[in-house]
Amino acid sequence: MGDRLADLRTRRGLTQERLAERAGLSVDVVRKLEQGRRSTARLSSINAMAQALDTEPSYLVGQPTTFQGLADGGSDLPSILALRQAVSPVSDLLGGDVDPEDPPSVEDLQAALRSTETIRREGRMGEIGALLPQLIHDARLATHAYTGPDAAAAFSVLAVAYQVAATTLAALGKEDAAFTAMERSLAAIRQGDDPKLETLAASTLAWVLTKQGRLSDAERVALTRADQIEPGFRSAPEDLALWGILLLRAATATVRQRRHDDVTQLLALARGAAQTMGRDLSVYATPFGPTNAGVAHVNFLVEMGRSAEAIRDSRAIPGLVHLPPTWRARFHVDRALAYHDLGKDAAATRSLLQAEQDAPEWMRYHSTSRRLVADLRGRARRGAPVLGLADRLGLLR
């Protein structure tokens, strides 16, 4: 990150002091990053530097930009190009021949979508990249072939598939393609049979905008939809969960703008919804409830620099075992960040190894994990466990 930061700062004609002033950071942070004396920074700091340099956060952090091959070397290899072609087919611009294939049944489409969502929750990125283009193709085919309720159901499957594509593309630093996938998803929702997908779309779009560094836009999208669906005392648990998910999306954008009082208020509302539910619930493959609200609380404490509190409160979260593997892994990475801030490298490494145990492939694509491991490796002694972890993540020495 330091090399990219220094290169872009120089091209922008900025001194380290001027960049720090624009980003609202200490010049010591900029200097240490550029000199390689630190590899990590809080996401709020990364977003501030990206905004000051007029670039995407993903450029600065240097996250992986393509799929790794599947371990079994199968023929259906994950492909960024195939995913782009599925999201933005040329036939939509030029007009194309009618596909000669028979469309899959709605039931088969829905089953394929459930399978894809399971793979996504487990963080198996390569399999998503291999399977998702075909699912989008099949769902599009069904929307053209069917009429009435079957067509509406196919559009709903297509809408969610586009959102999975958006999150996958954004995770690989292809935020503009992810935004296109969201436009496609919203168009499909308007012809689908599930109005609650509009709320899911707002949540996903807010996440994509956050990845782009468009934090105020992300906050606005999430809060606008949250206001539209604000539940009452007798609302169904699913409605409370959808509202809570939006509040956490807004809080994520807000904490990266370093507006900590607003974060605290949003989190309090989300935790209130979770307590009213009284249990964890998975809505469209996204968990929400007391457990996920507690995990989010720890995440925000870490981002606000309150690492000792984050470690303390992380010990009191119930039900972690019921979260999807990728959510558990992210929680362990947050704990590792907190330990790292406190200078406890051994504890940070143990937390990272727990994250790897939960979602090993996800870790290879997760830029925060990679930066933290690189930083710990730079200070590790020969034979330290973090060295093996760095090798498994494919980090170059």
Q: How many residues belong to the chain?
A: 397
Hunting for tokens 């996958």 — which residue is that?
168
The Cα 354–Cα 359 span in angstroms is 9
Comparing C-alpha atoms, which of 40, 88, 96, 91 is closest to residue 366? 40
Which run of H or of E encompasses 288? strand 286-288
pLDDT of residue 69: 61
pLDDT of residue 22: 94
80 lies in the same domain as 95: yes
pLDDT of residue 5: 92
140 lies in the same domain as 170: yes
358 lies in the same domain as 302: no
The Cα 230–Cα 270 span in angstroms is 11
- Cβ 333 vs Cβ 355: under 8 Å: yes
User: pTM of the prediction?
Assistant: 0.90
214 lies in the same domain as 271: yes
56 lies in the same domain as 90: no
81 belongs to a structural domain: yes
Residues of the chain with pLDDT under 70: 69-76, 96-100, 397
Q: What is the CATH number of the domain that holds 29?
A: 1.10.260.40
Hunting for tokens 């089953």 — which residue is that?
111
Specify the number of domains making up the chain.
Answer: 4
- Cβ 292 vs Cβ 280: under 8 Å: yes
pLDDT of residue 65: 81
pLDDT of residue 100: 61
185 belongs to a structural domain: yes
384 lies in the same domain as 285: no
DSSP class of residue 62 equals T
- Cβ 308 vs Cβ 340: under 8 Å: no
98 lies in the same domain as 187: yes
The Cα 254–Cα 299 span in angstroms is 13
The Cα 223–Cα 249 span in angstroms is 9
The Cα 360–Cα 380 span in angstroms is 21
Comparing C-alpha atoms, which of 306, 361, 300, 310 is closest to residue 335? 310
pLDDT tens string 183-238: 999 999 999 999 999 999 999 999 999 999 999 999 999 999 999 999 987 899 99
- Cβ 283 vs Cβ 238: under 8 Å: yes
311 belongs to a structural domain: no
- Cβ 304 vs Cβ 252: under 8 Å: no
Under 8 Å CB-to-CB from 56, ≥6 apart: which residues?
Answer: 50, 173, 175, 211, 212, 213
Domain membership of residue 128 as a residue range: 69-194
pLDDT of residue 90: 87
